[in-house]
Amino acid sequence: MKNVRHLLGACTTAALLMTSFAAHADATPDDAIAMVKKGVVFMKANGKEKGHAEISSKTSQFKKDDLYLVVYGLDGTVFAHGANEKMIGKNLIELKDIDGKLFVKERVELAKTKATFWQDYKFTNPETKKIEPKSMYCEKLDDAVVCGGIYK
C-alpha cells in the first residue's frame, strides 16, 4: 500500500510539472501581432507618455513570457522597453546582432516606408538568456515604431 501511495504521489507530481511546462509556451506570431495592436491602441487612448511608462513597467500588461513590447523613435532612440528599462533614452541605431546586422537601423528604415512589417534578427531571449533567432512584428505610430517579437 505504501508503494502505491508513493507511485500515486510521483504521478501527481509529474502531471503537475507537465502542466506547468505546457502553460509556459513560447509566444506565437498571432500573440505578437495582438500585443503590438493592444499597445498601439493603449497609446492612442492614453497618450505616448503613459503608453511608454506602461510598456516599460515591471508589471506591464504588455509582457507575457518571452513576449514584450519596445518602442523606438524613427532616429533609433528607445522610448520604451518591456525587458530592459536601462535602454530607455539610448539611441541604438548602430546596434548590431551577432551576425553584424544593424537591426535597429533596418527597423526604423522599414517603419519609414511601411505601416506594418516583420523583421528577423538574433537577440538574447530574456527567458533563456541565450542568443536566439527572433522575428519582430512592428507597427508605425506617428514618429515611432511599436514592436513585439517572438523567439523561434
C-alpha cell at 39: 499597445
What residue ranges do the domains of the chain occupy?
26-151
Q: What share of the chain is helix, strand, coil (3-state, %, to 5)?
A: 40, 30, 30
pLDDT in tens, 35-76: 999 999 999 999 999 999 999 999 999 999 889 999 999 999
> Taking the model in full, what pTM does it have?
0.82
88-129 per-position pLDDT tens digit: 999 999 999 999 999 999 999 999 999 999 999 999 888 888
Got the DSSP string for 46-106? Answer: H-HHHHHHHHHSTT-TTEETTEEEEEEETTSBEEEESS-GGGTT-B-TT---TT---HHHH
Architecture of domain 26-151 in this structure: 2-Layer Sandwich (3.30)
Distance CA 27, CA 13 (A): 26
